[in-house]
C-alpha cells in the first residue's frame, strides 16, 4: 500500500522532476524496503512498514517543496535524456503537466478533498454497519418447473418427525426410534428420512418458496438426528442412506421389486433387477443428473461413464436394489469426483408428493422446541468467569430466537466462551448466524456449502450491548458433531475466531438436494457450485479438524485450561 | 576561466554531505544516501526527496553531473552522479571555510585563553 501511495506521490511531482528523478526515487524506496528486512520475518515487518511510511512522508514533503519552492526547475528537466521508464507497466511520470496551480486553487482543492474524504469515510462507516441489508446476487440456479415441486418436497418432511419426537422415549424432538413406530408408518417415514437428509437445507429462497406455497413459515431440521442415526458412516453421502436403518425383509412383509419403477410396485420377495430394469434406472439417473447437476460438462461425462459401465456388463452382478445403488454411486463419484452425488434405494415406495406441512406440525415443532429449551442444554458460568454453552442443535430462529438471545445475554459478561457442540447434530443456518453474530463486531460472512451467498450469510454484528465480540472463544467438537454444527466450527476456525478443541467432526455438509427418480430410487445432487472463500474443500466426508486434538470427553477440561491460561496472560 | 566559488559557499548540510560523498567516487542516489549516513555515523540521514532536490540544484549549478547508467549495476537503469571540477573546488572552499569556523570555534571555546580585544 505504501509503495502504491509513493508512486502516486511521485506522479504528482512537477513533470521535469518526475522525468529526472522519480524512477530513481522509487528504486530507492524498493531498495530501502528490501534492506529493512523481508516481510516474512515478523520482527522486521513493522520496521519495514515504518521505514516505508517515513519514505512516503519524505515524498510528501518533496512534493510540496517542488511545487511551492522550486518554480525555476519546472521549466526544464535537471537531467536530460529519456531515462524514466514506465513503472509497473503504467506509463508513469508524465501525466501531470508542468503547470503551477494558483495558491487559492490549491487551498480550494485541499478543502474539497477533505470534504470528499470525510464524506467517503462516513459512507464507509455507514455501510460497514449496514451491509447485512444490502441485496446480494445469488448464484444461478437451475430454473425449471420441478424446482418448486422439489422445494415442496423438502419442506413438509422437515417437520414431520416432530410428531414422533414428541412421543419418543427420550423426548428429544430430533430423535426418532424407528422400532417404536407402527409398521404402517415405517414405509412413509423411511421415505421421509431419505428425503429429509438432503432436504435439510433451508436456503432463504427455499424457505420463502415453501412459505409461499404452503402459506406457512418454513421450518426445518428436527429430523436431523433421526437422519444421523440412519446414516451409513462409511459413505460420504449428503444424506442418510436408508438401507442401513431399514429392517431386513420379513416374511409376509412387502418387499420391493427389482424394477423399482413407477410401473413396478413392490411385490413378493425374490424378484431381482433384470438388465432392462437396470437400464431404465440408469437412464433416469442420467436424465436427473443432467437436469440438476450444476456442472453440465461433468454431468455429461458421468452419464457416458454410466453407459460404458453398463455396456461392459459391470452392473450385471448387482441384482438387488441396494447393491445396484451402491454400484452406480461408485461409478458416479469415480467419474465426477464429487462425493456428494449419490444414488439411494428405498425398499418401500417413495411417495410422489410428501404430505403438506400443517399448522399442527408447526405447533408441534414449536412445543417440542419449547419443551427442550430449544436444545440449549446448559448455559452457565464456569470458574474463572468462563461462559459455557452446551447446544445440541441449531433450531430455527423463528421459534427459538428468544431462547438463543437469552442464552447469549447470560454469557455477556464472561471473559471467555466455550461452545459445547460435541452432541450437536446440526440445524438451521439462521441460528448458526445468530449465535455467531455475538462473536464479531462487524458483519462477517459465514460460508455454507449448501447455499448461495445471501444477505443472511452475514452475521448481524455488531449486536447492541454485546461484550463477547473480542472475547476468546472455544468450540468443543466430537466425532458426532455434524452438519450445521460443523459449519459453525468450520467458519469460526477459518475466520480465526475460535479455537476448536476435541475430535475431528463427522463430516456432513449436506449440500445435496434429493431428487426422486422413481418409486424406489432417488438421487442426492448438489445443485449449486460452492464458492468456498477459505479454499476448495469444506468438511463433506472429511470433517473439521480441531485446533487442539483431544478425546471428546477431555475437551471441556482442555478448553477450560486453555481459556484460563489465556486469561491469566492478559 | 576559473569560476568564483565563493558564491556557492556556505553550503547547506545536505549539499555538503552529498558533495562529500561524491568526492571519492561516482555514486547512484541510494549510494549517496548510504555514504552520507556512513559519514555522519548515522546522525544525518537524507531522504530521497531531499537528496534529489539537492541533486537537482547541484546539477543546475554544474557542481554535479549525471554520468548515466552502469552496465554492471544491480539495476542497469540506475543513474550515477559525479562531482564536477567546479564541485570539487566548491567543496574545497567549503572545507576551508569550515576549518576556519572550527578553528575560530575552538579558539572561542577555550575558556582559559583570554580573548583579543
DSSP B9: P
**Chain A residues inside the 8 Å CB shell of B50:** 58, 61-62
Instruction: Output the nine-digit C-alpha cell for A181.
Output: 413406530
Question: Residue A20 in contact with residue A79, Cβ under 8 Å?
Answer: yes
- Cβ–Cβ < 8 Å for A70, B53: yes
Give the pLDDT band of residue A240 (cuts 50, 70, 90). very low
Q: What is the pLDDT of residue A354?
A: 65
**pLDDT-derived band at A416, boundaries 50, 70, 90:** very high
C-alpha R_g of chain B: 17
Query: Between A and B, how many CB-CB pairs are < 8 A?
Result: 67
Cα A54 to Cα A46: distance, rounded to the nearest angstrom: 12
Choose from A115-124, A235-244, A256-265, A311-320 the range with maximum mean pLDDT: A115-124
**Residue A355 Cα to chain centre, angstroms:** 30
The H or E element spanning position B45 is none
Picking from A543, A459, A555, the residue whose alpha carbon sits closest to that of residue A507 is A543
Weakest mean pLDDT among A185-194, A355-364, A527-536 = A185-194
Chain-centroid distance, C-alpha A274:
42
Verify whether the Cβ–Cβ distance A25 to B33 is below 8 Å. no
pLDDT at A173: 36
Contacting residues of A for B59, CB less than 8 Å apart: 78-79
The cell numbers describing A422, all together, are 460435541
Q: Are B30 and A70 a contacting pair at CB < 8 A? A: no
State the greatest distance between any 2 C-alpha atoms of chain A, in Å, as a whole number.
108
A65 and B49: CB-CB below 8 Å? yes
- Cα–Cα distance, A163 to A173 (Å, whole number): 8
Residues A230/A176, Cβ–Cβ less than 8 Å: no
DSSP designation for B46: -
Lowest pLDDT segment from A164-168, A397-401, B70-74: A164-168
Q: What is the pTM of this model?
A: 0.46
- Report d(CA A67, CA A74) in Å as an integer: 8
Q: How many residues does chain A have?
A: 570
> Residue A219 pLDDT > 70, yes or no?
no
**A474, β-bridge pairs:** A418, A499
State the cell numbers at A465: 450491548
Pairwise CB contact (< 8 Å): A24 & B47: no
Residue, of A193 and A546, whose pLDDT is higher: A546
Q: Does a cis peptide bond (omega within 30 degrees of 0) precede residue A462?
A: yes
pLDDT digits (tens, 9 = 90+) for B44-87: 888 899 999 999 889 988 999 988 777 676 777 788 899 999 99
Chain A residue at shortest CA distance from B33: A28
Helix A321-336 / helix A275-292 crossing angle, nearest 10 deg: 40
Task: Report the range of poorest mean pLDDT among A251-255, A405-409, A554-558, B107-111.
Answer: A251-255
pLDDT exceeds cutoff 50 at A129: yes
Pairing label, strands A498-502, A473-477: parallel
Task: Report the b/e string of A517-527 with b at 16+ CB within 10 A.
Answer: bbbbbbbbbbb
Statement: residue B6 has pLDDT above 70:
yes
Q: Which of A562, A431, A406 is nearest to A484 (CA)?
A: A431
Given a cut of 80, whether residue B109 has pLDDT beyond it is yes
Which of A10-24, A464-478, A503-517, A522-536 has the lowest average pLDDT? A522-536
Cis? peptide before B10, omega within 30° of 0:
yes
Which residue, among A538, A428, A450, A443, has the nearest Cα to A493 in the 3D structure? A538
Query: Which helix (DSSP H) or strand (DSSP E) does residue A130 occupy?
Result: helix A103-130
B55 and A21: CB-CB below 8 Å? yes
Class for domain B13-109, per CATH? mainly alpha
Among B30, B56, B78, select the one facing A20 at the smallest CB separation.
B56
Task: Provide the pLDDT confidence category of residue A355 given band limits of 50, 70 and 90.
Answer: low
3-state secondary structure A545-562: CCCEECCHHHHHHHHHHH
B4 close to A (CB below 8 A)? no
In three-state secondary structure terms, A293 is coil
| Top mean-pLDDT range of A36-40, A59-63, A137-141 | A59-63
Asked if B48 has any chain A CB less than 8 Å from its own CB, the reply is yes
Q: Is B75 on the interface with A (CB under 8 A)?
A: yes
Q: Which of A20, A55, A73 sits opposite B48 (nearest CB)?
A: A55
**Which of the four pLDDT bands, split at 50, 70 and 90, describes residue A110?**
very high
As a whole number of angstroms, the distance between CA B28 and CA A24 comes to 9
For residue A439, how many C-alpha atoms fall within 13 Å in the half-sphere facing its CB?
Answer: 28
Please provide the DSSP assignment of A371-383 as one string: HTGGGEEEEEEEG
Lowest mean pLDDT among A6-20, A110-124, A426-440: A6-20
B56–A27 CB contact, under 8 Å: no
pLDDT in tens, A499-515: 999 999 988 877 778 88
Please tell me which residue of chain A has the smallest CA distance to B34: A32
**A352 or A437: whose pLDDT is higher?**
A437
Percent of chain A whose pLDDT exceeds 90: 29
The residue ranges of every structural domain in chain B are: 13-109
Give yes or no for B29 touching A (CB within 8 A).
Answer: yes
Strands B27-28, B79-83: pairing is antiparallel
Choice between A263 and A176, residue whose per-residue pLDDT is larger: A263
Structural element, H or E, at residue A281:
helix A275-292
Q: Which range, A25-34, A123-132, A180-189, is most confident?
A: A25-34
Q: Which of A393, A340, A332, A244 is nearest to A542 (CA)?
A: A340
What pLDDT shows up at residue A393? 92
Smallest CA–CA distance, residue A34 to chain B, in Å, is 12
Nearest CB partner across the interface for B56, out of A54, A73, A85: A73
Torsion, CA A349, CA A353, CA A354, CA A360, rounded to 10: -140
How many angstroms separate the CA atoms of A477 and B40, rounded? 61
- Chain A residue with CA closest to B67: the answer is A79
Distance CA A506, CA A69 (A): 70
| Distance of alpha carbon A203 from alpha carbon A533, whole angstroms | 18
Query: How long a stretch of residues is chain B?
Result: 117
**C-alpha span between A333 and A526 (Å, rounded):** 13
All three cell numbers of A70, joined, read: 522550486
Asked if the model's pLDDT at residue A265 lies above 70, the reply is no
C-beta contacts of A230-233 below 8 A and 24+ residues apart: A230/A178, A230/A193, A230/A197, A231/A197, A231/A508
Amino acid at each position: 500500500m505504501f509503495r502504491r501511495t509513493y508512486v502516486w506521490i511521485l506522479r504528482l511531482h512537477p513533470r521535469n522532476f518526475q522525468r529526472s528523478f522519480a524512477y530513481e526515487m522509487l528504486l530507492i524506496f524498493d531498495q530501502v524496503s528490501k534492506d529493512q528486512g523481508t516481510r516474512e520475518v515478523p520482527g522486521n515487518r513493522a520496521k519495514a512498514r515504518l521505514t516505508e511510511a517515513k519514505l512516503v512522508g519524505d515524498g510528501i514533503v518533496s512534493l510540496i517543496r517542488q511545487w511551492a519552492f522550486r518554480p525555476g526547475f519546472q521549466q526544464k528537466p535537471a537531467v536530460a535524456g529519456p531515462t524514466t521508464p514506465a513503472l509497473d507497466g503504467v506509463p508513469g511520470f508524465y501525466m501531470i503537466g508542468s503547470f503551477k496551480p494558483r495558491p487559492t486553487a490549491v487551498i480550494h482543492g485541499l478543502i474539497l478533498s477533505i470534504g470528499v474524504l470525510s464524506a467517503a469515510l462516513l459512507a464507509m462507516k455507514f455501510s460497514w454497519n449496514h451491509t447485512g441489508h444490502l441485496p446480494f446476487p445469488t448464484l444461478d440456479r437451475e430454473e425449471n418447473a420441478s424446482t418448486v415441486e422439489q422445494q415442496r418436497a423438502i419442506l413438509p418432511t422437515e417437520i414431520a418427525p416432530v410428531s414422533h419426537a414428541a412421543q419418543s422415549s427420550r423426548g428429544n424432538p430430533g430423535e426418532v426410534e424407528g422400532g417404536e413406530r407402527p409398521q404402517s408408518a415405517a414405509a412413509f417415514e423411511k421415505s421421509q428420512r431419505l428425503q429429509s437428509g438432503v432436504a435439510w437445507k433451508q436456503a432463504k429462497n427455499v424457505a420463502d418458496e415453501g412459505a409461499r406455497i404452503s402459506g406457512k413459515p418454513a421450518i426445518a431440521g428436527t429430523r436431523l438426528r433421526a437422519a444421523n442415526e440412519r446414516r451409513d458412516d462409511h459413505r460420504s453421502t449428503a444424506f442418510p442412506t436408508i438401507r442401513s436403518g431399514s429392517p431386513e425383509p420379513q416374511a409376509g412383509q412387502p418387499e420391493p421389486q427389482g424394477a423399482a419403477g413407477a410401473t413396478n410396485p413392490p411385490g413378493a420377495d425374490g424378484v431381482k433387477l433384470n438388465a432392462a430394469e437396470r437400464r431404465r434406472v440408469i437412464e433416469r439417473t442420467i436424465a436427473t443428473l443432467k437436469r440438476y447437476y450444476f456442472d453440465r460438462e461433468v454431468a455429461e461425462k458421468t452419464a457416458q461413464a454410466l453407459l460404458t459401465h453398463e455396456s461392459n456388463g459391470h452392473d450385471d452382478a448387482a441384482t438387488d436394489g441396494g447393491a445396484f445403488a451402491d454400484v452406480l454411486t461408485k461409478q458416479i463419484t469415480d467419474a465426477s469426483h464429487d462425493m456428494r452425488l449419490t444414488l439411494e434405494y428405498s425398499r418401500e415406495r417413495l411417495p410422489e408428493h410428501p404430505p403438506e406441512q400443517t399448522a399442527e406440525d408447526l405447533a408441534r415443532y414449536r412445543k417440542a422446541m419449547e419443551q427442550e429449551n430449544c436444545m440449549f442444554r446448559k448455559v452457565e458460568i464456569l470458574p474463572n468467569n468462563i461462559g459455557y454453552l452446551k447446544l445440541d442443535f441449531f433450531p430455527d430462529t423463528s421459534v427459538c430466537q428468544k431462547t438463543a438471545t437469552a442464552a447469549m445475554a447470560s454469557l455477556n459478561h464472561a471473559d471467555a466462551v466455550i461452545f459445547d457442540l460435541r452432541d450437536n447434530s446440526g440445524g438451521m443456518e439462521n441460528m448458526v448466524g445468530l449465535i455467531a453474530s455475538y462473536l464479531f463486531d462487524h458483519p462477517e460472512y459465514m460460508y455454507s456449502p449448501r447455499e448461495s451467498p445471501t444477505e443472511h450469510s452475514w452475521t448481524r454484528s455488531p449486536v447492541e450491548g454485546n461484550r463477547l465480540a473480542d472475547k476468546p472463544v472455544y468450540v468443543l467438537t466430537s466425532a458426532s458433531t455434524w452438519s450445521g454444527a460443523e459449519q459453525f466450527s468450520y467458519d469460526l476456525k477459518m475466520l480465526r475466531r475460535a479455537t476448536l478443541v476435541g475430535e475431528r467432526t463427522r463430516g456432513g455438509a449436506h449440500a445435496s438436494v434429493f431428487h426422486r427418480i422413481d418409486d424406489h430410487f432417488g438421487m442426492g445432487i448438489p445443485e449449486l457450485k460452492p464458492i468456498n472463500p477459505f479454499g476448495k474443500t469444506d468438511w463433506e466426508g472429511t470433517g473439521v479438524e480441531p485446533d487442539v486434538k483431544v478425546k471428546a470427553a477431555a475437551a471441556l477440561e482442555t478448553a477450560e485450561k486453555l481459556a484460563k491460561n489465556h486469561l491469566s496472560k492478559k | 576561466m576559473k569560476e568564483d566559488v565563493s558564491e556557492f559557499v556556505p553550503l547547506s548540510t545536505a549539499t555538503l554531505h552529498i558533495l562529500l560523498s561524491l568526492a571519492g567516487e561516482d555514486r547512484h542516489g541510494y549510494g549517496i544516501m548510504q555514504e552520507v549516513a556512513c559519514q555522519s555515523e548515522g546522525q544525518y540521514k537524507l531522504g530521497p526527496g531531499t537528496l534529489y532536490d539537492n541533486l537537482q540544484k547541484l546539477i543546475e549549478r554544474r557542481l554535479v553531473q549525471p554520468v548515466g547508467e552502469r552496465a554492471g549495476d544491480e539495476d542497469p537503469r540506475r543513474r550515477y552522479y559525479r562531482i564536477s571540477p567546479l564541485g570539487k573546488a566548491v567543496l574545497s572552499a567549503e572545507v576551508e571555510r569550515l576549518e576556519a569556523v572550527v578553528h575560530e570555534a575552538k579558539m572561542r571555546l577555550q575558556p582559559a585563553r583570554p580573548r583579543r580585544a
